[in-house]
Structure 1
């Protein structure tokens, strides 16, 4: 049994698809299929069943996956510990975050950290709320920024970092675009451009509208802040976005207006695996972040 076989098995189990697993592994599909077949022959069991175009773990496959993930996680940590023992400043931090934080927050904190630790490497992974928790719990990343900050979870612990204000964004020619601030209820007859289901900003905006006394009418849905901003700027509707997502990245930009009522904010937290120590270099970064954001909760930093 080879390490490569176990790595391929875990990737296929997570993707439930040989082609997608091969693409992420940057190898040929036939190579992945061959390694899985050899692993099944050596074990004398079927690890997967075909279900349409996807693969589904068998009962014994699920048992084997749990053990293999533990083994690979221990091996990864062992390799990191050796590297960090030789020189913690040459370690790697695996960091997850939602797309909306990748425009300004992540570059800012990473560049600040690297001023003191210039040789530390970062591996980034973007994701939605549930996928970020899963990535941390399964050891895909060491730490992850997340919004909202989960209050309680069996597999991860969370440290709230900051509270951020959300602003109304309007087309440039909107009647309210010249206002310094508006009440959200003033947008009750507008068509809203929202993130699709699964993105944490969607329920924040939705609940804010309900609090303002109306149910938002959804005209368009998107998956990235650039898409939301672009659609609003083109006159396709209105929306709410956090300040960090409103840095200009194109010529076509919406107008940003403060919402005076109700108070619309999101909390950004940092999650790590519970009951497990971080790699040394990730622990240094963790403490740096807590210091960097100290006092930011409730101040809308």
Structure 2
């Protein structure tokens, strides 16, 4: 059994598709199929079943998947530990974060860290709340910024590093655009521009509207803060965005108004796998972040 076979097997199991696995592995589809076939012959079992255009693990394939992932994870950790033992300053930090933090927060903290650790490399992975948790549990990232902070989890632990206020954003010609602050209920008759389902900011805004006594009427949905801001500035509706997402300016700019009642906030957490020691270089970055945000671990 070759290590390459395990890599190919795990990737096909994750993608449930040979072609997609081959594209991500940057190898020919035939090479992946051949290695999977050889692995099945060596084990004497069928690891996958064809269902439509996708491949699904057999029961014995699911059992083998757990072991294969553990082996590859341990191998990656061993290689990383050796590299960090030689020189921790040459290590790599794998970090996940939601799209809304990619404009300002992530670049700011990484730039600050690299002032004293210029040779440390970073591998970034953006995603929505469920995928960030999944990537962390699967050890595809070492640390993840996440919002909202998961209060209870079987697999991850961490700290709230920031609580951020959300403000209303309005088209420049909106009747309330000149107000310094408003109650959210004053927007009950407006059309809202919200994040698509699956993005953590959507339920925060939705729940705030319900608390204010109305159900928001959704006119448009988007997946980026720039998209939400641009649609509002173009007069397509109103929305709420974190203050951090409003620091960036563009030619098409909405009006930002403070929401007095209810106050709408989101928590931003820094999470890691529970009961598992971080790699040395990630430990250094974790300590730096807690100091950066003045958080007690």
User: Shared fold by TM > 0.5?
Assistant: yes
1:38 maps to: 38
CA offsets, 1:121-148, max 9 Å, x none?
A: 0000001111101111110000000001
Instruction: Report how far residue 250 of structure 1 moved.
Output: 3.2
SS in 1 for 2:115: helix
Distance 2:12 2:239 in 1: 38
Alignment of 1:126-275 (within 5 A): 126-248=126-248, 250-275=250-275
The question of whether the paired residues in 2 share the 8 Å contact of 1:194 and 1:202 is answered with: yes
Instruction: Report how far residue 249 of structure 1 moved.
Output: 5.2
Moved more, 32-41 or 252-261: 32-41
Distance 1:125 1:138, change over 3 A: same
Aligned-residue Cα RMSD (Å) equals: 1.3
The question of whether the paired residues in 2 share the 8 Å contact of 1:151 and 1:158 is answered with: no
CA offsets, 1:254-300, max 9 Å, x none?
A: 1111111101000000110011100000000011111111159xxxx
The question of whether the paired residues in 2 share the 8 Å contact of 1:46 and 1:58 is answered with: yes
Instruction: Report how far residue 187 of structure 1 moved.
Output: 0.5
Distance 1:12 1:72 in 2: 14
Distance 1:265 1:32 in 2: 47
Distance 1:3 1:249, change over 3 A: farther
Instruction: Report how far residue 247 of structure 1 moved.
Output: 3.1
The question of whether the paired residues in 2 share the 8 Å contact of 1:103 and 1:247 is answered with: no
Distance 2:241 2:257 in 1: 10
Distance 1:148 1:130 in 2: 11
CA offsets, 1:45-69, max 9 Å, x none?
A: 1111112222111101110110011
Distance 1:246 1:18 in 2: 42
Distance 1:249 1:47, change over 3 A: farther
CA offsets, 1:162-198, max 9 Å, x none?
A: 1001011111211111211111001101111111111
CA offsets, 1:91-110, max 9 Å, x none?
A: 00000000000000000000
Distance 1:249 1:37 in 2: 54
Distance 2:268 2:219 in 1: 27
CA offsets, 1:185-243, max 9 Å, x none?
A: 01101111111111110110000000100000111111111211121111111111101
1:60 maps to: 60
1:114 maps to: 114
1:25 maps to: 25
Moved more, 98-107 or 165-174: 165-174
Distance 1:41 1:24, change over 3 A: same
Distance 1:243 1:23 in 2: 39
For normalisation by structure 1, the TM-score amounts to 0.95
